[in-house]
Amino acid sequence: MIIADKKPIEEIIETIAPFEQILILGCNECVTVCEAGGKKEVEILASALRIYFLNQGREITIDEKTIERQCDHEYLEELRGRVDRYQAVVSLACGVGVQFMADKYKTLEVFPGVNTCFLGATETRGVWVELCQACGSCILAQTGGICPVTRCAKRVMNGPCGGSTKGKCEIDKEIDCAWQLILDRMKRLGRLDKYEAVAPIKDWSSDRAGGPRKIIREDVR
Amino acid sequence: MRLAYSPSIKIIPVPCTGKVDAIHMLRAFEKGADGVYALGCIEGECHYNHGNLRAKKRTEQVAALLDKVGIERDRVAMFNLSSSQAQRFVEIAEEMTARILDLGPNPIKTAKKKRVA
């Protein structure tokens, strides 16, 4: 899922201060699971903002709404007819939702309420880890289901670099060396032959470096 | 024991403090409460294992948030006691009442009154 983190409330206050009618819009998907932008977070943020502006002696309308997904036209359509009464929307969805919202409602100010961070998973409650960089050309079949593109700081493709010490990465003693993890897993699987095979040069043309990417599937179009 | 405590305190019963969410406390402040405190079971003795520990974290979360929106963080607190500690219940009630009297009314309430006037 997409992992996001809450934006500091001071930053949100500064952004919305010039407006009088504001909608805080949550998303029921990834940002709900990572506790950054779901219904609960919408309620808490809206309440805190109302308290702040009341305390400042300002009468501002701050309403709340959480929709199923902000990255889908059909769910964003639910808001048509309602968003007209607001001057600005603070979207607690990931960057995709914010942009979708801004694109759909062209005369409405849309601001992000979270920082979208990475593709990852919940390690334990309150701890989220990055596991995929969406490089567009998955090599997990060759690396025992452990991604060196994401989990190796250097993105090396043929075993650990010289900075791997006792299974940890040189950039941080808390970070596992991805290639040590791959080696250990290959041993357990009895597939060291895969580990020893020299990986071909990775095709990076599908990675982000080529600009924004697009997938067109004629079979489902 | 029929011990007396401040009549300004309104008790909202919940099955466990784990049921108390940050938004419940924030809404109380929005509606003009001068202070909010959660009374949970003693740490390590929660019937639901972690309910009081969750409430403790949420209370800390609300305190930090109140601080950022200009409300004194001391207006929110959590205390732990067992159901048989009536004397402690009264002590906490008096401690919180004194703390809130010292802080004065919720500034939201004052701001709302000013606007009406």
pLDDT band at B110 (very low <50, low <70, confident <90, very high): confident
Sign (positive or negative) of CA dihedral A68, A71, A73, A79? positive
User: Which chain B residues contact residue A50 at CB under 8 A?
Assistant: 30
| pLDDT single digits (tens) A32-41 | 999 999 999 9
ipTM value for the complex: 0.93
**For residues A122-136, average pLDDT:** 96
Bridge partners of A4?
A116
Put simply, the answer to whether B70 touches A55 (Cβ < 8 Å) is yes
Q: How far is A48 from chain B (nearest CA, A)?
A: 7
Could you tell me the pTM of the whole model?
Answer: 0.93
| Chain A residue at shortest CA distance from B66 | A48
CB A66 within 8 A of CB A38: yes
Put simply, the answer to whether B111 touches A57 (Cβ < 8 Å) is yes
Q: Given a cut of 90, is residue B115 above it in pLDDT?
A: no
A178: left (phi over 0), alpha (psi -120 to 50) or beta: alpha
CB B68 within 8 A of CB A10: yes
Q: Given a cut of 90, is residue B16 above it in pLDDT?
A: yes
**Predicted pLDDT at B60:** 98
Put simply, the answer to whether A51 touches B66 (Cβ < 8 Å) is yes
Of B21, B26, B111, the CB nearest to A55: B111
**Predicted pLDDT at B111:** 79
Put simply, the answer to whether A48 touches B26 (Cβ < 8 Å) is yes
Q: How far is B23 from chain A (nearest CA, A)?
A: 5
Q: What is the C-alpha separation between A187 and B107, in angstroms, rounded?
A: 64
Q: Residue B17 CB: number of other CB atoms within 10 A?
A: 22
**Predicted pLDDT at A118:** 97
Of A43, A55, A57, the CB nearest to B69: A55
Q: How far is A90 from chain B (nearest CA, A)?
A: 17
| pLDDT single digits (tens) B35-85 | 999 999 999 999 999 999 999 999 999 999 999 999 999 999 999 999 999
**Predicted pLDDT at A59:** 85
Of A10, A47, A54, the CB nearest to B23: A47
**Predicted pLDDT at B113:** 75
pLDDT band at B117 (very low <50, low <70, confident <90, very high): low
| pLDDT single digits (tens) A146-170 | 999 999 999 999 999 999 999 999 9
Put simply, the answer to whether A49 touches B26 (Cβ < 8 Å) is no
Looking at every residue in chain B, the average pLDDT score rounds to 94
3-state secondary structure of A157: coil
Give every CB contact of residue A72 below 8 A, 6+ residues apart in sequence.
A100
Q: Given a cut of 80, is residue B112 above it in pLDDT?
A: no
Burial status of residue A92 (CB atoms within 10 A of its CB: 0-12, 13-18, 19 or more):
buried
Tokens of B87: 């004397």
